[in-house]
Structure 1
Amino acid sequence: MDAPMTVGGLTAIDVHTHAEVSAKGHGSLSEELDAAAGEYFKTEHRRPTLPEIAAYYRERNMACVVFTVDAESATGTPAVPNEEVAEAAAANPDVIIPFASIDPYKGRLGVNQVKRLVREFGVRGFKFHPNVQGFAPNDRLAYPLYEAIEAEGAIAVFHTGQTGIGAGARGGGGIRLKYSNPMLVDDVAVDFPDMPIILAHPSFPWQDEALAVATHKRQVHIDLSGWSPKYFPPQLVQYANTLLQDKVLFGSDYPLLTPDRWLADFAKLPIKDEVRPKILKENAARLLGLTAG
């Protein structure tokens, strides 16, 4: 086991990294959806193992939040086990911060999993992908999960905006974009005011809605994953530099987008010198409750 995480020595904290393959070699998406995502992001869509993810980020002196996506009810495909992610974090505490994902259709079973994953495995947050999981974030079916996440002091991450999953496939692979409007998460922020929330990605075509929610609800943050910074909408850059400078987080969407490419393009943005370290590390460290050690 490596030494515990030393936040002060890190160059960045990537809050959006995917575990896309299990130790047994299976992923969380069907072949159709997986292929569509690879084409959308113009990558070979290679799926690194969890030890490879740890090594990749260690080489770059970064930490990373890692999670899977559990959409088994909608896709019929079991997710990469949350326990594998947590065990990889325990084996690589200097690099990996464990998050999890639970299908909102799992009901009471899902609630019990939240409690167990936080208490026994040290999971820090939970990822929801409303498009792939096939639910509206403000649907009451998910509220028992949110109640458990809030009670355990964990974070909820919601995919927002267009998704590369299913893009270009027949009928979009059955993926409905309407579920990723960040205004649906505004209801969740009202009903669960003590649950920290991250709106993942620049939220095209609802960028202004995401900025409004993050500005209005104090526990709502925005991560910048999934897009090269050179494509960020001007208003997102403006808010990141000003009103939301303490609530915007670096995320890459690795392996679909590498942190190397993201950081190279981010360096070219007109971000204030005093804001840049907040986005790259300080905001995430505070949100995650990491010490500066």
Structure 2
Amino acid sequence: MTIDVKAIRAIDVHVHAEVSCHDPEDPVMAQFFDAASAYFKAPRERPKMPEIAEIYRRQNIAFCLFTVDAESGLGARRVSNYEVADFAAQHADICLPFASIDPRKGKLGAREARDLVENHGVRGFKFHHIVQDCHPADRVGYPIYEVIAEFGLPAIFHTGHSGMGTGMRGGAGLRLKYGRPMLVDDVAADFPDMKIILAHPSWPWVDESLSMALHKENVFIDLSGWSPRYFPPQIVRYANGQLSGKMMFGSDFPLIRPDMWIEAARDIGFKESVMAGIMKDNAAKVLGLV
């Protein structure tokens, strides 16, 4: 069973699996979840994967599901990529499995990446270098990128401000500089066969993401993590113009609900034809569904 693109109304490329169905919530992550929930004014309880699938199936929206591996940077145990992949295989009509591997795992991480793609159906990867405490172009992560590029898969890179650590003492020691989009430009140049998705509107470096998506054929933008009501005007202007095929819907669920994002996006000035691309068509091409 695979996703029937014609039958769904949207593709959400940015959905988090933050808790395991089998293991207890990690106490280190619990502190970050407390702070993020306060920042986003979102419920503290994190839904498990079956509940996520139920929510998205009810709304007829396909989604990319991933955890974030920051075991080196945060000292927090990740949700297993294999658990995410196995769950997605059981819900293949609505869910695409992405994996996250701490860049500092280097060659061992590359072995895991290859196994996940070849034997467990993983269709993309997610990096969040702020919580991973690593420069996106640090060569330690290149063996993992090499595997992703070999298979021509997409990789989502967190960019801009981070709700993780916001409001915590010293931002919990997290360094926002690793979320600057231009730091990913070396990766985009060095790995032209890897589709790079810059996550979020990238504030306060919005124009860097727009420049990169304009300049590099393999760079795209997902619009997750913000309500569209607060998008900087240049996002809408470029979406309606030169970057109409480069922007994609993402919610950042569970912190932002997909239905709330979609409702807000209808009223900010996207052309009707552009909105169709953002909601489904652009992601379908990047994800290899069409």
Common fold: TM-score over 0.5: yes
Aligned residues: 289
Give the AA of the match of 1:188: V
Does the 8 A contact of 2:66 with 2:100 survive in 1?
Answer: yes
Deviation at 1:56, TM superposition (A): 0.7
2:211 pairs with 1:212: yes
**What is the aligned partner in structure 1 of residue 81 from structure 2?**
82
**What is the aligned partner in structure 2 of residue 17 from structure 1?**
15
Q: Which runs of 5+ in 1 are unaligned?
A: none
**What is the aligned partner in structure 2 of residue 26 from structure 1?**
24
Measure the CA separation in 1 of the matches of 2:65 and 2:269. 29
**What is the aligned partner in structure 1 of residue 53 from structure 2?**
54
Deviation at 1:33, TM superposition (A): 1.4
**What is the aligned partner in structure 1 of residue 272 from structure 2?**
273
Deviations 1:29-55 (A, max 9, x none): 522212111111011232111111111
Give the AA of the match of 2:86: E
Alignment of structure 1 residues 157-172 onto 2, 5 Å: 157-172=156-171
Measure the CA separation in 2 of the matches of 1:122 and 1:4. 12
**What is the aligned partner in structure 2 of residue 184 from structure 1?**
183
Does the 8 A contact of 1:21 with 1:49 survive in 2?
Answer: yes
Q: Which runs of 5+ in 2 are unaligned?
A: none
Does the 8 A contact of 1:27 with 1:80 survive in 2?
Answer: no
Identity %: 54
Give the AA of the match of 2:238: Y
After superposition, the Cα gap between the structure-2 partners of 1:259 and 1:163, relative to the gap in structure 1 and judged at 3 Å, is same
| Secondary structure, counterpart of 1:14 in structure 2 | strand
**What is the aligned partner in structure 2 of residue 103 from structure 1?**
102
Does the 8 A contact of 2:106 with 2:142 survive in 1?
Answer: no
TM-score (norm 1): 0.96
Measure the CA separation in 2 of the matches of 1:221 and 1:160. 12
**What is the aligned partner in structure 2 of residue 65 from structure 1?**
64
Measure the CA separation in 2 of the matches of 1:183 and 1:106. 23
Deviations 1:54-108 (A, max 9, x none): 1110000110000000000111111110011111111001110000000111122
**What is the aligned partner in structure 2 of residue 8 from structure 1?**
6
| Secondary structure, counterpart of 1:131 in structure 2 | coil
Does the 8 A contact of 2:182 with 2:212 survive in 1?
Answer: yes
Does the 8 A contact of 1:45 with 1:255 survive in 2?
Answer: no
| Secondary structure, counterpart of 1:138 in structure 2 | coil
Measure the CA separation in 1 of the matches of 2:153 and 2:244. 22
Measure the CA separation in 1 of the matches of 2:230 and 2:260. 13
Measure the CA separation in 2 of the matches of 1:276 and 1:260. 15
Measure the CA separation in 1 of the matches of 2:106 and 2:137. 15
Deviations 1:169-227 (A, max 9, x none): 00001110000000001110011111100000010000001100110001000000000
Measure the CA separation in 2 of the matches of 1:44 and 1:227. 16
Measure the CA separation in 1 of the matches of 2:24 and 2:177. 28
Which deviates the most, 176-185 or 16-25?
16-25
| Secondary structure, counterpart of 2:96 in structure 1 | strand
**What is the aligned partner in structure 2 of residue 241 from structure 1?**
240
Does the 8 A contact of 1:162 with 1:177 survive in 2?
Answer: yes
